[in-house]
Structure 1
Amino acid sequence: MGPQAGAGLLLLLLLWATRGGQVLTSDAQQRYTSIVDVANGGTWGDWAWPEMCPTGYFASGFSIKVEPPQGFPGDDTALNGIRLHCTRGNPEQNTHVVESQSGSWGSWSEPLWCPGTGFLVAFSLRVEPLTFPGDNTAANNVRFRCSDGVELEGPGLSWGDYGDWSDACPKGVCGLQTKIQRPRGLRDDTALNDARLFCCDG
């Protein structure tokens, strides 16, 4: 095996390991330049498949899937999904929605948009810490920072606290991947636990 083939294999293995066993398509591998994540994500579930904006598109807005509070003795899951709304800088033209795996509960909010032609560049998750015994929810809400510094907070729930902001993408977010706990029957469900975002430069 020559040095170029060996380097390619090493890159593929690194991608597999860092994506939780999910290998990106060759198009996605060529397009993204970095990945941003947060340190306070929930511990349950598995990383799903990554989803990317079309080439030349960036996330200008987002929406979330949230289950409202269930009350006693219901099982709360709170944040169940995140969608990126990808554009070429104008949310009124050619919007493309991407979504990695989402939980089973709740409904989708209306999109929140960066002003003007801005793109999403960083995010922060609101996560409820482990409660035992108790009804765990993991991620409850998400906020994004736009390229002009404007911060957008989703209409999620208020349990837990926001962690530190992720690093910022140099130009904009172009994809995402979610960590989801599958339905557990009569046991405690948490749905979305964590997320990470892909950065592109063109």
Structure 2
Amino acid sequence: MYFLQLIVSVLVISPVVDCFLPRKSVVDSLGPTYRSKWGTWGRVQYCAEGTYAAGYEMKIEPSQGRGDDTALNAIALVCVSLKGKHFGGTITSTAGPYGDWTGVFMCPNNVFLKEFALQVEESQGGGDDTAANYIKFICGPLHSVKSSYELAHTRGHWLWGEMTGWSRTCPTNSAICGIRTRVEDCQHGADDTTLNDVKFYCCNDDSWN
């Protein structure tokens, strides 16, 4: 428990660790979910070798009233090794500029992110589009496909759109270890959507615990 508290304190000091080096242990990918028409895919970021995503945080813009809403702007994954002995950084891929970080939610000790569900608002035609609004995960043991724990920020949803079904789960002996996001650049006064979709990568056990 102390180590997870240490991770949260590290996030406050340095929320993102660049980690673009590919991992040889990638065995599968989850998503994309929405396949929107807005934005471009950023670079994949991976947890450090031997670590896996065990928690997450969202960057969300609150309702702007009659202004332009963007909702979910970024997703950060918190990476740790088996038994929590090593901190593997936080990773985000591309992030939108609006909103605030909501705080970190962690899986129980020694279980990791294995699958996800994304809340997405469909195109509003001539209305205000927000695209992705919220994300939640299932935590499970690295060495099993059995999913054991739903990990979601307290509210459980955001303001617009519907929750998609759960993705596939990472295969046995693997967990989520990488992220790639699709984000629309600033539209300079036109309708911004920022984060539109996300893809996650599963790595098998290459731990150095």
Question: Which of the five TM-score ranges fits, normalised by the shorter chain?
Answer: 0.7 to 0.9
Deviation track 1:108-142 (CA, whole Å, cap 9, x = no partner) reads 12111111211000011100011122110000000
Matched, 1:44 2:38: yes
Give the match for residue 150 of structure 1.
Answer: 149
2:163 aligned with 1:162: yes
2:200 paired with 1:197: yes
- Asked if structure 1 preserves the Cα contact closer than 8 Å seen for 2:47 and 2:88, the reply is no
Correspondence for 2:61? 67
Larger-gyration structure (1/2): 1
Offset at residue 40 of structure 1 (A): 2.6
Kept in 1, the 8 Å contact 2:184–2:192? The answer is yes
TM-score, normalised on structure 2?
Answer: 0.79
Q: Unpaired segments of 5 or more residues in structure 1?
A: 1-23
Separation in structure 2 between the aligned mates of residue 150 and residue 144 of structure 1, nearest angstrom: 8
Partner of 1:174: 177
Q: Deviations over 1:30-85 (max 9, x none)?
A: 2211111143343310000000000100000000100000001x100000000000
> Equivalents in 2 of 1:93, 1:158: separation in Å?
36
Please give the alpha-carbon distance, in whole angstroms, between the structure 1 residues aligned to 2:120 and 2:80: 29
Residue in structure 1 matched with residue 11 of structure 2 by the alignment: none
Tell me whether 1:109 sits opposite 2:108 in the alignment: no
Using the aligned pairs only, state the percent identity.
34
Q: Which runs of 5+ in 2 are unaligned?
A: 1-18, 141-146
- Distance change in 2, residues 1:79/1:88 (3 Å): same
The structural deviation recorded for 1:89 is: 3.6
**Aligned residue in 2 for 1:18:** none
Partner of 1:19: none
Cα deviation for residue 158 of structure 1 reads 2.6
- The alignment partner of 2:97 has SS state of coil
Q: 1:137 aligns with which of 130, 142, 148?
A: 130
Q: Note the C-alpha offset of 1:181.
A: 0.2
Give the alignment's TM-score, normalised by structure 1.
0.82
2-structure distance, mates of 1:111, 1:93: 17
Relative to 1, partners in 2 of residues 1:28 and 1:166: Cα closer, same or farther, differing over 3 Å?
same
Aligned residues: 177
1:187 matched to which residue of 2?
190
> RMSD value over aligned CA atoms?
1.9
Once the two structures are TM-superposed, the CA of residue 167 in structure 1 deviates from its matched residue by 0.8
Shift of 1:185: 0.4
The answer to whether the 8 Å contact 1:66/1:81 transfers is yes
- Which deviates more, 86-95 or 173-182? 86-95
Distance 2:31 2:203 in 1: 15
